[in-house]
Amino acid sequence: MFADCRASACYTVNIFNACEWLLKNFAKQKKTKLFVMDNLKILPPSQKEFELIVETIKKANLSTFDLKIDGFLLAKKNNEIIGFVRDHKIGKISAISSLFIFPKFRKQGFAKKLIFTVIENSSDNIFYLDCLKKIKDMYLKLGFEEIKNPPEVLWQKYRWILEKEFNKIFSKKLVKEKLSFFKFQKTVNSQELR
């Protein structure tokens, strides 16, 4: 659709606004989250793309906790997959998880764009995430607030990961040694993502 708009007469009128309007209306009709800018597309994956996501998650030793296609967003540029992220509902909590950018695309701002798209397209106002301590600075720069303890419902995710994926006995202390926890509140922090 973006390429069709570019080739049409709307290019001389104002291509960006016209294409943006078409994409927004197309996304509303399909109830699909969609972002397009500078040939970067962020949209839900197809079933085939989701299979690639699952394979990548397993190879990267990311958590396979409650993996479902719902909530995933995929970033593509020139039809090449850049990375993905998931807005994961755990109980009533919105958790950003499974963020992955393929190595050749890292340090180019794609992680920020994926996270920003999740937050902007969600009806939730508060988001939680965890990450390895060694990469926590990225989330601090994006306006996330580091917290000492995640909401209690998220501990079920950590319990599952330790027991099912690593055959270890669950311990909050063990989880806290490895991970940093963050909270993002849309109303307070959303301008910092831009």
Q: Sorting pLDDT into bands at 50, 70 and 90, what band is 63?
A: confident
Q: What's the DSSP call for residue 125?
A: S
What does the pLDDT look like over 135-187, one tens digit per residue? 899 999 999 999 988 888 887 777 766 666 666 666 667 777 778 888 999 87
pLDDT, tens digit, for every residue of 129-144? 988 888 899 999 999 9
Alpha-carbon distance of 17 to 157, in angstroms, equals 42
Under the banding of pLDDT at 50, 70 and 90, the label for residue 34 is low
Give the pLDDT score at 9. Answer: 28
Q: How far apart are CA 157 and CA 40, in angstroms?
A: 32
- Return d(Cα 59, Cα 39) in angstroms, integer: 28
Cβ 181 vs Cβ 157: under 8 Å: no
What's the mean pLDDT when you consider all of the chain? 76
Cα separation, 53 vs 50, whole angstroms: 5
Contacts 24+ apart (CB under 8 A), 56-62: 56/84, 56/100, 57/98, 57/100, 60/100, 62/98, 62/100
Higher pLDDT, 11 or 47: 47
Residue boundaries of the structural domains of the chain: 1-31, 43-193
Fold of the CATH domain 43-193:
Aminopeptidase (3.40.630)
- pTM of this prediction exceeds 0.85: no
Q: Using one digit for the tens of pLDDT, what is the confidence trace for 90-109?
A: 888 898 988 999 999 999 99
**What is the pLDDT at residue 153?**
81
Is pLDDT larger for residue 76 or for residue 17?
76
- The residue type found at 43 is L
Which residues fall within 8 angstroms of residue 45, CB to CB, at 6 or more apart? 52, 53, 69, 72, 73, 74, 84
